Amino acid sequence: MTLAALELARDEGRIAPFPADQSPLVIRELTVSYGDKPAVFSLDAAIEPESMTAIVGPNGAGKSTLLKAALGIVPRLSGRILVFGQPISQSMHRIAYVPQRASVDWDFPTRVIDVVLMGLYRELGFLRPVRRHHRERALACLDRVGMADFATRQIGQLSGGQQQRVFLARALAQNAELYLLDEPLAGVDAATEKAVIDVLKTLKVEHRTVVCVHHDLATVGDYFDNVLLINGRKIAEGPVTTTFTAENLQKTYGGRLATAHIDELKLPAAS
Amino acid sequence: MFAPFLDALLLQAGYNAGLVTVGAALLGIAGGSGGTFLFLRKRSLVSDGMAHATLPGVGLAFMVMVALGGDGRSLPGLLLGSALSATLGLLAIEWIVSRTRLAEDAAIGAVLSVFFGFGIVLLTIIQTMSGGYQAGLEGFLLGSTAGMLFQDALLIAIGGGLIVGLVFVLRRPMTLVAFDTEFAAAAGIGVRRIDLAMMGLVMAVTVIGLKLVGLILVVAMLIIPPVTARLWTERTERVVLVGGAFGGVSGYVGAALSASAPNLPTGPIIVLVAFALFACSLLFAPGRGVLAAVIRHRRFQWQVHRRQGLLALAREEPILDPLTLSVLRKEGLIRQDAVVSEKGRAAAAKALLDERRWAIARQRSEDGSLDSHWDGLTPIESVLTHDEIAEIDRQIGPPAAVR
């Protein structure tokens, strides 16, 4: 289904919303530290349901750490994480995670379709055999990111953008309600950027929630509804139109972002 | 030499030799399949640390059994001791890595040498202990098959079977953890538990391999077969299968070889057979082998020179590169005196036309999706349909003749 068709279906109420009406992700007073250096300090945030949120901040601002802490895969020093109103241990199956592409060894002996099938691990478990309908679902996910023709390729043969799409397909296979993506658009080609954003938009139409660590300030306004500006601490959160302002960006990046650069972004006027 | 080897291969070289051969094959299968995930997790050397850490356990178990008035040489007792001390070694390595700033390689080096040193001290003490026990514990260093009993072979068979079964049960979570630890954790896998289970498998292989190949060489059974298998396949489950097969063959053939002549040590011969399989694979494996890579590179180089040569001919530029000239000559595109042949004219015209087609195709494609194919070697026919090319050709106009 195309994005437009999906949007029509949603507007006519043909896509059922998920039952939860709580916020998909609430973070309270989160502090995460590596050694004695806090990477994320006393951070509060709440993600709006069925929205697309960008987490934006300079290098080392704790963006990835924030995602990993929200998933419970890095230990927290303090704070609480609620996913759809429940502790992470009970709601992990409702989250899909797309790690940074560079975090894995792409020379691993596996094929594209096998990577996507990893997304079905919760269903397959240790021993259940991979049946044809599993494979077909994995292929459908690959098709959504335009990679169906690559299903039997070894993953080492893919370009960076194709690798990113395979990671996204694996997350689609998880069929989750909350999607956490770590820099899905970093270093990808234009075709992949478009494919990824289109898929993320369809996720939103399907009543799912998308949170992306995002590095490209120029596209925040085009792609996202909300923005969470952090630099260790939270600087600001809210709709892009009111929050993604020159003033807040200056606060987030400090002197690292030249004023001239901010001017180029055509931001909404500071309110 | 050959007749005894054949006898040994067919298990006709005597009862003891037969036991050793079958045991070595089973150990090889267990090591090859169990070691695959260790290799994919990039933690192969931990097994070396664990293997060396078995020695003090062997010594202490002997002392305890003697102190309790039993036979110090009981194999199950010694193996239990070795397992406990290997576990301690593993925990020491993990503790150092997680609680200090030392990297894993330093931790392995430290634990390995300390445990091994302590084990050697214990063995020396045992040798001088009152009663003059001929303990034969030093056989655990490099393996000794002389006194192999049926029970010992049975132990290896049961242990090996358990290991292979566990590898089968845990293959999915172990694959996920090895490929993408963070995703595995987010998918609800207890990464630490899976890692511990994997190390448990490695320890089991080490312990049942002590008697046959010895603690110094048992790592070879865990590392070499998976590395060899990786050269042949691009799929995890096949690395496990092929790794097990290579391990089994190494064990079987190695043990048979060592049984076919006096004074050939079993463990080291098995390792050498495993290495021979690795060396052949490294050279001749399709895809990842050295020879295949050389051929691929040569073929690629040939295509590049052919292409550049044709374009130079079409543009009437001089060709100076001797390799380009030689490629064009061998393909009959130019004559010995460097004059373009009829075939060369046609090929050059086609090359130039394709360049123009590419330029237009790239201009037309907005998203840059063609750029990854625009390497000068991909035939445009493999990327665009016949109709698309015809459409482009209409824009180019009639081809210019190459003189």
The tens digit of pLDDT for each residue in A29-83 reads 999 988 788 899 999 999 999 999 999 999 889 999 999 999 989 989 999 999 9
Q: What is the pLDDT of residue B379?
A: 81
Residue B257, pLDDT above cutoff 80: yes
Sheet holding A226-231, edge to edge: A95-98, A178-182, A209-213, A52-56, A226-231, A233-239
In chain A, whose CA is at the least distance from the CA of B226?
Answer: A109
The whole-angstrom distance between B189's CA and the closest CA on chain A is 9
Look at residue B27 in the predicted model and tell me its pLDDT. Answer: 95
Give the domain ranges of chain A. 3-264
Q: How far apart are CA B199 and CA A91, in angstroms?
A: 30
Q: Can you tell me whether residue B315 is helix, strand or coil?
A: coil
Give residue A106's pLDDT. 95
Q: By a Cβ cutoff of 8 Å, what residues of chain A touch chain B? A: 68, 71-73, 92-93, 95-97, 99, 103-105, 108-111, 114-115, 118-119, 121-122, 124-127, 154, 156, 159, 170, 174, 189-191, 194
Q: What is the pLDDT of residues B195-223, one digit of tens each?
A: 999 999 999 999 999 989 999 999 999 99
Enumerate the CATH 1.10.3470.10 domain ranges in chain B, comma separated. Answer: 2-285
pLDDT tens-digit profile of B52-92? 999 999 999 999 998 888 888 888 899 999 999 999 999 99
Highest mean pLDDT among B120-134, B209-223, B307-321 belongs to: B209-223
pLDDT in tens, B102-111: 999 999 999 9
A32 strand-pairing partners:
A40
- DSSP per position, B44-103: HHHHHHHHHTHHHHHHHHHHHHHHTTS-TT-HHHHHHHHHHHHHHHHHHHHHHHHHSS--
Instruction: Please check the confidence at residue A109 and state whether its pLDDT lies above 70.
Output: yes
The ipTM assigned to this model is: 0.89
> What CATH code would you report for B2-285?
1.10.3470.10
Is there a contact between B402 and B349 (Cβ–Cβ < 8 Å)?
yes
CATH classification for the domain delimited by A3-264, as one of 3.40.50.970, 2.60.40.1250, 3.40.50.740, 3.40.50.300:
3.40.50.300
Q: Which residues on A lie below 8 Å from B369 (Cβ)?
A: 189, 191
| CA proximity to A210, closest of A3, A7, A61, A25 | A25
Q: For residue B337, what pLDDT band results from cuts at 50, 70 and 90?
A: confident
pLDDT, mean of residues A234-244:
93
- Closest listed residue to residue B138, CA positions, set B120, B114, B151: B120
B16 by DSSP, 3-state: which?
helix
Whole-number average pLDDT of chain B: 89
Question: A271 pLDDT band (50/70/90 cuts)?
Answer: very low
> Hunting for tokens 């109103």 — which residue is that?
A85
Nearest CA in chain A to B39: A108
pLDDT at residue A214 tops 50: yes
Average pLDDT over residues B7-34: 90
Q: How confident is the model at residue B401 (pLDDT cuts 50, 70, 90)?
A: low
- pLDDT band at B367, cuts 50/70/90? low
Check CB contact under 8 Å for A194 and B371.
no
What pLDDT sits at residue A120?
96
Q: Which of A97, A111, A191 sits opposite B183 (nearest CB)?
A: A97
Is the Cβ pair A118, B178 closer than 8 Å? no
Say whether A103 and B239 touch across the interface (CB within 8 A).
no
* Structure token pair of residue B234: 């691009």
pLDDT value of position B72: 80
Taking residue B54's Cβ as centre, other Cβ atoms within 10 Å add up to: 31
